[in-house]
A and B are shown apart, each in its own frame.
Chain A
Amino acid sequence: MTARVPSLGGYGENVWQRRLASLKRLDWVLVLSVVALSVVGTLLVRAATFQVLLDQGKDPEGFLKRHILNLVIGFALGGLVTVLDYRLLRAYVPILYALACVGLLIVLTPLGSTINGSHSWIVIGGGFQLQPSEFAKVGLVVLLAMILGEPRDGEVGPGRRDVLLALALAGVPAALIMLQPDLGTTLVFAAVVLGMLAVSGAKKRWLAGLVGGAVLLGFAVWFFGLLKPYQLDRFTAFMDPSADPRGAGYNAQQARIAIGSGGVFGKGLFHGEQTGGHFVPEQQTDFIFTVAGEELGFVGGAVIVVLLGVAMWRGLRIATQAADLFGTLVATGVVCWLAFQSFENIGMTLGIMPITGLPLPFVSYGGSATFANMIAFGLLQAVHLRRRPFD
């Protein structure tokens, strides 16, 4: 590989000029899709929370304001990551990884807080809380790219040692997240590991072994009853939501009713009756797609899916055009993460996936998730800026 690396080190008198010039080299389609998703998300957050907050006698736009603030911080973080030479990240990644693991450990101590059955949060105070598992996703992607992105000479893919090291390093945070328990994020980890291993060129038997191991593990978990009852309930409710309409199946059923009743064009933004009556719990976060489904209808829902699709297409394009394997893997990891998370999130509201606590990327309300998504967005842009020159 003999890729020409554009010099963005920042030496010389025309540093700022050159940086401005590089702005033009950003993937603007990706930018537009992410901005569009954020705008839609902002409207949906308002739709989901306005009436509830009003009923509770709180500032009806409290969530809206916080979400906008989160987006601003998120875009700033993304921009920062964009302008950094992503290869410099290699130096910091071990620190990021260590911090994420410490965060995940803290979460499990009494310092952590339980929200919605998941012990996933560190409450910082002043109404802010941190969800280390979101940042762990970023750490994982970059760390795996580091390990898998430097095959030994003459090798097409990572060797056995690299693969095992990667699995071990992914396993630590995954285990900590599983202890919270947060099944959704663990599954995201699995999707990221699998996708990155595959693209890194790892041998097929590794991939087959991983898939087989996952199936075995799933079976063992089921067989030995390692799942919490509420998780099991969510799974059975996913299969038959009417089995317990007031309990675990409630979310699933209400989500389907909200989306299904939206029809082709929806009931109009801010005019959702199910949404206004707050029938779907956690609607501004994990179930935000139901607001779109009800108020914007099939058209609105399809637009969101298409926008997400555009973002992933651009992400995969970036992976293909990356200057080096490290860049390719970073972009691949980000796409796997966003793709799996989007599919799981929308799929659960449509009743084709079990319910887990995952937000919809770029759309859902949530500080840590927004920050992590925007950092991932920044990573894609960073890889893009330093792409191979033949396009």
Chain B
Amino acid sequence: MNSRTHFRLVVLYVLVAALLLVLMGRLWTMQVLDGRHYRQVAADNRTRDIVVPAVRGVILDDQGRPLVRNRTALVVSVDRTTLSRQKDEGAGVLNRLAKVLGTSYDALAKKTRLCGPGIKRPCWPGSPYQPIPVDDRVDPKRALQIMERQEEFPGVSAAVQAVREYPRPEGAGAAQALGYLQPITQEELDKRKGLKVTGYSGVDLIGRDGLEAVYDADLRGEPGFRKVLVDSQGRVTGTAQDKAPVPGGNLVTSLDAGVQGAAEKALDNAVQNARRQGHKADAAAAVVMDVQTGRLVAMASYPTYDPSIWTGGISQDEYDALLGKKKGEPLISRVSQGQFAPGSTFKVSSVAAAVKDGYDLHGTYSCPGSYNVGSRAFRNFEGQAHGDMSLHQALVVSCDTIFYKFAYEEWLRDGATKPKKHPSDPMVEMARRFGFGTRTGVDLPGETTGRIPDRGWKRSYWNATKKADCKGAKDGYPEVAKTDPSRAAYLKAVAAENCAEGYMWRAGDAANLSVGQGDVLVTPLQLARAYAAVANGGRLVVPRVARAVVRPDGSLVREIDPPAGPKLPVDPKVLKYIRGGLAGVTKSGTAAGAFSGFDLKKVPVAGKTGTAEVYGKDDSSWFASFAPVDKPRFAVIAMVSQGGTGASTAAPAVREIYEAMYGLNGKKPALKDGRTPAGLPKLGGDTGTAP
């Protein structure tokens, strides 16, 4: 062997040894130094976490009829993360999916893009790591197509999920009260402890409005968790850890489907009726409240909508229909979020205030056609004069001038334009004690306060508006003058007055307040509570919709009792007197027409019409009532915004609700013996879950 060959063989020895040493070194690094890391990865590799969704509780009426329940649906979801890994960013997958689902690529692309600044709906408001449901009404055949051809549909999954369903028993929708579900946002996750994103679409929803939001923690339950062993094909080979889901509790409400349905129908009829008479009737509300407990038996809001459109993503068209001003913003509950001038229904507070201020409950007062408040004549409704009368009669015929007189005299006693240091403002004070101007504390989100204008409010309002007013006072309104010179002149005069002395509590303000006009705003719920207080002897209740949370097996989790509210500072005798006056309204007063033919002997109804004039708009129509007069159980309120007079529009709606409740006029009674059930409904195992 020559030396060159020998030398090169030696080099080969060294080379081979070096290669083997490299392998040994690498092996040592991976198995000994990084072994712990790889063992962890291996464990993650071999197990898969499966979230077992908890069934969300259903929402039931007072008799156990489901207002919201769950329907099992085949939901097709798209995982954005997987899609984005595709070469074409998932365009091909969505195209194929669109064909299978019978929709367009465009629609799917919009549903799966993330919401953000400048991106209009439809878009995905939830977490980007969560599968996005694109269709929840897939027929099994199509779902199978997708599941069988997974290689063509990476990131697309079809799974059986529970989806909210609204069965509308007795026609009861109660959409605004029930609320709706939406994907959890990051903010909500940060805010609420114990809220976990499971990554499983359909689980990570949260109540966004109504009872679904307020009682979300009770309804949602706790998702189960299963750690399974899988092989490389994803086949499950065993279970490593198993925690069963805790189903959400069922929420029993005091709403009665029969009464609720009737209230919604009555509102609908009232609106249609008002429109036939040429009124705009753009919104309406009705409340039925248990006057003793404050529990709500019905709360209807018009316009309304079908909450099932929220499930499975919402289209642009549907969203416009929901939130669009043109469609009347049906998401807003007119019962607890709508604020309107109450008109004469407010007089229960004013009577109590006047008597408390020293006016004789049994005195006789003059009701002229108009009354001069300072230099300005304030007129009765349609300028009618009624002569001398008692306060009882003042309520029955709804005389305004008597209240103008009270308010004006009180205003003078408080020092008129140069007020005393501590003016008594009896009407304002009493209105506050009746609960106006503050939230009722109902168990629904987004409640508004209404407004009782007072001296403080006047000043702050003036501070906010004086700049514009003073400019108007100086320059007039040339734009308006072009088309309507008289209106422009009026506006200029008002602006001048507001600019100069807008901060003052003027006589007119006091007079307007006394009859629920001017700047007074109340929610129908506040008015219902005020009338409940009149009816129950002076207790201001705290309204409640929910009654109890009950486990799916029927056992009680907790009862939801309305907290005790304050007492009215009104002598029971005065309240009794007011009740008598209100009882006269349906017999011989402003609502006698609306209640003609109504069996008042069987169900004696006491109530008050209200027709609130709103500048530049049609009148708000009100009827506030309670029944039975002697043993009051329910307060029933109806309001139709821009609906005409209280007697013509709202009162018939209230009458219709009573007829449905008590089964009058050939109707089927919604309530047994004119009462709501005393106890909780008996609930079986699988309440309200559709097969």
CB-defined contacts of B37 to chain A, threshold 8 Å: 260
Which one, B5, B13, B229, B230, contacts A316 given CB within 8 A? B13
Residues of chain A in range 267-309 having any CB-CB distance to chain B below 8 Å: 273-274, 276-281, 293, 297-298, 301-302, 305, 308-309
Residues of chain A in range 309-355 having any CB-CB distance to chain B below 8 Å: 309, 312-313, 316, 319-320, 322, 325, 328, 332, 335-336, 339, 343, 346-347, 350-352
Q: Is B46 an interface residue (CB 8 A)?
A: yes
User: Is there contact, CB below 8 Å, between A339 and B4?
Assistant: no
Report the stretch among A10-18, A62-70, A100-108, A192-200 that lies at the interface.
A192-200
CB-defined contacts of B22 to chain A, threshold 8 Å: 343, 347, 352
User: Is there contact, CB below 8 Å, between B42 and A325?
Assistant: no
Report the stretch among A179-187, A215-223, A251-259 that lies at the interface.
A251-259
Counting chain A CB atoms within 10 Å of each CB, the highest count among B2, B23, B37 belongs to B23
- Expressed in whole angstroms, the Cα–Cα distance for A1 and B34 within the complex equals 54
**B interface, over-half SS:** helix
CB-defined contacts of B41 to chain A, threshold 8 Å: 257, 260-261
Residues of chain B in range 87-122 having any CB-CB distance to chain A below 8 Å: none
Which one, B19, B26, B232, contacts A279 given CB within 8 A? B232
Q: Is B560 an interface residue (CB 8 A)?
A: no
Q: Is A139 an interface residue (CB 8 A)?
A: no
Residues of chain B in range 5-24 having any CB-CB distance to chain A below 8 Å: 5-6, 8-9, 11-13, 15-17, 19-20, 22-24
User: Is there contact, CB below 8 Å, between A350 and B27?
Assistant: yes
Q: Is B32 an interface residue (CB 8 A)?
A: yes
* Closest chain A residue, CB of each to CB of B26: A350
A382 shortest CB reach to chain B, Å: 18
CB-defined contacts of A347 to chain B, threshold 8 Å: 22-23, 26
Q: Is A80 an interface residue (CB 8 A)?
A: no
User: Is there contact, CB below 8 Å, between B1 and A325?
Assistant: yes
Which one, A201, A316, A346, contacts B4 given CB within 8 A? A201
B77 shortest CB reach to chain A, Å: 19
CB-defined contacts of A352 to chain B, threshold 8 Å: 22, 26
User: Is there contact, CB below 8 Å, between B42 and A274?
Assistant: yes
User: Is there contact, CB below 8 Å, between B9 and A274?
Assistant: no
User: Is there contact, CB below 8 Å, between A277 and B232?
Assistant: yes
User: Is there contact, CB below 8 Å, between B42 and A195?
Assistant: no
Q: Is B572 an interface residue (CB 8 A)?
A: no
Counting chain A CB atoms within 10 Å of each CB, the highest count among B2, B5, B39, B233 belongs to B5
CB-defined contacts of A346 to chain B, threshold 8 Å: 23
Q: Is A98 an interface residue (CB 8 A)?
A: no
Q: Is A72 an interface residue (CB 8 A)?
A: no
User: Is there contact, CB below 8 Å, between B45 and A328?
Assistant: no
User: Is there contact, CB below 8 Å, between B12 and A277?
Assistant: no
User: Is there contact, CB below 8 Å, between B30 and A264?
Assistant: no
- Expressed in whole angstroms, the Cα–Cα distance for A357 and B258 within the complex equals 75
Q: Is B630 an interface residue (CB 8 A)?
A: no
User: Is there contact, CB below 8 Å, between B231 and A257?
Assistant: no
- Expressed in whole angstroms, the Cα–Cα distance for A312 and B13 within the complex equals 9
CB-defined contacts of A298 to chain B, threshold 8 Å: 27-28, 31-32
- Expressed in whole angstroms, the Cα–Cα distance for A105 and B9 within the complex equals 34
User: Is there contact, CB below 8 Å, between B30 and A259?
Assistant: yes
User: Is there contact, CB below 8 Å, between B39 and A261?
Assistant: yes
User: Is there contact, CB below 8 Å, between A301 and B31?
Assistant: yes
User: Is there contact, CB below 8 Å, between B35 and A263?
Assistant: yes
User: Is there contact, CB below 8 Å, between B42 and A258?
Assistant: yes
The A-B contact count (CB < 8 A) is: 137
Q: Is A156 an interface residue (CB 8 A)?
A: yes
CB-defined contacts of A319 to chain B, threshold 8 Å: 9
User: Is there contact, CB below 8 Å, between B4 and A350?
Assistant: no
Q: Is B237 an interface residue (CB 8 A)?
A: yes
**A interface, over-half SS:** helix
A391 shortest CB reach to chain B, Å: 13
- Expressed in whole angstroms, the Cα–Cα distance for A278 and B230 within the complex equals 10
Which one, B4, B17, B32, contacts A263 given CB within 8 A? B32
Q: Is A262 an interface residue (CB 8 A)?
A: yes
Q: Is B38 an interface residue (CB 8 A)?
A: yes
Given the interface pairs A274-B45, A277-B232, the reply to whether A339 lies near B16 with Cβ below 8 Å is yes
User: Is there contact, CB below 8 Å, between A328 and B5?
Assistant: yes
Q: Is A157 an interface residue (CB 8 A)?
A: yes
Number of B interface residues at 8 Å Cβ cutoff, please give it.
39
Counting chain B CB atoms within 10 Å of each CB, the highest count among A200, A281, A298, A325 belongs to A298
- Expressed in whole angstroms, the Cα–Cα distance for A273 and B45 within the complex equals 10
User: Is there contact, CB below 8 Å, between A305 and B23?
Assistant: yes
- Expressed in whole angstroms, the Cα–Cα distance for A263 and B37 within the complex equals 10
CB-defined contacts of B232 to chain A, threshold 8 Å: 254, 277-281
* Closest chain A residue, CB of each to CB of B82: A246
CB-defined contacts of B13 to chain A, threshold 8 Å: 313, 316
User: Is there contact, CB below 8 Å, between B42 and A198?
Assistant: no
* Closest chain A residue, CB of each to CB of B15: A339
- Expressed in whole angstroms, the Cα–Cα distance for A55 and B237 within the complex equals 11
- Expressed in whole angstroms, the Cα–Cα distance for A254 and B42 within the complex equals 9
User: Is there contact, CB below 8 Å, between B42 and A156?
Assistant: no
Interface string of B230-250 (1 = CB under 8 A from A): 111100010000000000000
CB-defined contacts of A263 to chain B, threshold 8 Å: 31-32, 35, 39
User: Is there contact, CB below 8 Å, between A195 and B12?
Assistant: yes
* Closest chain A residue, CB of each to CB of B18: A343
A101 shortest CB reach to chain B, Å: 28
User: Is there contact, CB below 8 Å, between A264 and B38?
Assistant: no
User: Is there contact, CB below 8 Å, between A261 and B38?
Assistant: yes
Which one, A199, A200, A262, A343, contacts B31 given CB within 8 A? A262
User: Is there contact, CB below 8 Å, between B5 and A200?
Assistant: yes
- Expressed in whole angstroms, the Cα–Cα distance for A293 and B231 within the complex equals 19
- Expressed in whole angstroms, the Cα–Cα distance for A275 and B24 within the complex equals 22
Which one, A55, A262, A302, contacts B24 given CB within 8 A? A302
* Closest chain A residue, CB of each to CB of B27: A301
CB-defined contacts of B9 to chain A, threshold 8 Å: 199, 316, 319-320, 328, 332
- Expressed in whole angstroms, the Cα–Cα distance for A222 and B132 within the complex equals 41
- Expressed in whole angstroms, the Cα–Cα distance for A350 and B34 within the complex equals 12
User: Is there contact, CB below 8 Å, between A201 and B8?
Assistant: yes
User: Is there contact, CB below 8 Å, between A256 and B30?
Assistant: yes
Which one, A199, A277, A280, A281, contacts B8 given CB within 8 A? A199
- Expressed in whole angstroms, the Cα–Cα distance for A261 and B35 within the complex equals 5
- Expressed in whole angstroms, the Cα–Cα distance for A200 and B30 within the complex equals 38
User: Is there contact, CB below 8 Å, between B46 and A277?
Assistant: yes
Given the interface pairs A195-B12, A263-B31, A277-B237, the reply to whether A325 lies near B5 with Cβ below 8 Å is yes
Interface string of A188-210 (1 = CB under 8 A from B): 00000001001111000000000
Residues of chain A in range 105-150 having any CB-CB distance to chain B below 8 Å: none
- Expressed in whole angstroms, the Cα–Cα distance for A25 and B17 within the complex equals 26
A26 shortest CB reach to chain B, Å: 21
User: Is there contact, CB below 8 Å, between A201 and B5?
Assistant: yes
CB-defined contacts of A195 to chain B, threshold 8 Å: 12
B483 shortest CB reach to chain A, Å: 70
* Closest chain A residue, CB of each to CB of B28: A298
CB-defined contacts of A200 to chain B, threshold 8 Å: 5
CB-defined contacts of B31 to chain A, threshold 8 Å: 259-260, 262-264, 293, 297-298, 301
A29 shortest CB reach to chain B, Å: 16
- Between A and B, 20 residue pairs with Cβ closer than 8 Å are A157-B4, A201-B4, A257-B38, A260-B34, A262-B35, A263-B31, A263-B39, A274-B45, A277-B46, A278-B231, A278-B233, A279-B45, A298-B27, A305-B27, A309-B17, A313-B13, A325-B1, A336-B12, A350-B23, A350-B30
Query: Closest 3 interchain pairs by CB?
Result: A260-B38, A261-B42, A277-B231
Q: A198-B12, A302-B27, A335-B12 are in contact. List 13 more A-B contacts (CB 8 A).
A: A1-B1, A260-B30, A260-B31, A261-B42, A274-B45, A277-B232, A293-B30, A298-B32, A305-B23, A313-B16, A316-B9, A325-B1, A347-B23
Residues of B in contact with A (beta carbons under 8 Å apart): 1-2, 4-6, 8-9, 11-13, 15-17, 19-20, 22-24, 26-28, 30-32, 34-35, 37-39, 41-42, 45-46, 229-233, 237
Residues of A in contact with B (beta carbons under 8 Å apart): 1, 55, 156-157, 195, 198-201, 254, 256-264, 273-274, 276-281, 293, 297-298, 301-302, 305, 308-309, 312-313, 316, 319-320, 322, 325, 328, 332, 335-336, 339, 343, 346-347, 350-352
